[in-house]
């Protein structure tokens, strides 16, 4: 059974590895490889941020299975998900996203709208956000914008 928890400093290296995975980079809005030093600085700032939350999905058999990040701007929050390479293809992204949204909304009552931006070719994420109650609103330059009221 998947559970979520807040990210901690010890998660940094795993997130860096997942971020630089070739499949992740191919499906990301920013597809360049990230240096460890840059990631470490970004992650430290993220943990201190009042507008960013990162949740880590944990499975009892697989360990850390992925992350969900929320970046709040007023009442809107952009959500991103990245599954660890070893956790892909196991049906874990939907429960991870659902649990993270529940935890996030409980912590941040100012948020009324979640926004997801997904590359046109990222079929798995397009399906995931649609099945999680997000509605496609626009496509611009190959990037879909999905919205969900909470």
Domain ranges of the chain: 3-149
**How much is the pLDDT for 71?**
98
Pinpoint the alpha helices (H) of the chain.
12-20, 22-27, 36-48, 93-107, 123-131
- CATH level 3 topology of 3-149: Aminopeptidase (3.40.630)
Contact in structure between 69 and 54 (CB atoms under 8 Å): yes
How confident is the model over 14-53, as pLDDT tens digits?
999 999 999 999 989 889 999 999 999 999 999 999 999 9
How confident is the model over 72-131, as pLDDT tens digits?
999 999 999 999 999 999 999 999 999 999 999 999 999 999 999 999 999 999 999 999
Say if residue 70's pLDDT is above 90.
yes
């Amino acid at each position: 059974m998947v559970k979520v928890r807040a990210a901690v400093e010890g998660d940094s290296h795993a997130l860096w590895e997942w971020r630089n995975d070739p499949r992740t980079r191919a499906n990301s809005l920013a597809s360049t490889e990230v240096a460890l030093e840059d990631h470490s600085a970004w992650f430290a700032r993220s943990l201190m941020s009042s507008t960013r939350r990162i949740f880590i999905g944990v499975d009892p058999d697989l360990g850390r299975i992925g992350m969900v990040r929320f970046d709040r701007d007023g009442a809107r929050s952009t959500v991103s998900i990245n599954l660890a390479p070893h956790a892909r293809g196991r049906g874990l992204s939907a429960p991870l996203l659902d649990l993270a949204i529940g935890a996030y909304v409980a912590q941040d009552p100012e948020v009324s709208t979640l926004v997801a931006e997904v590359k046109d070719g990222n079929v798995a994420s397009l399906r995931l956000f649609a099945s999680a109650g997000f509605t496609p609103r626009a496509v611009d330059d190959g990037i879909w914008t999905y919205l969900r009221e909470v």
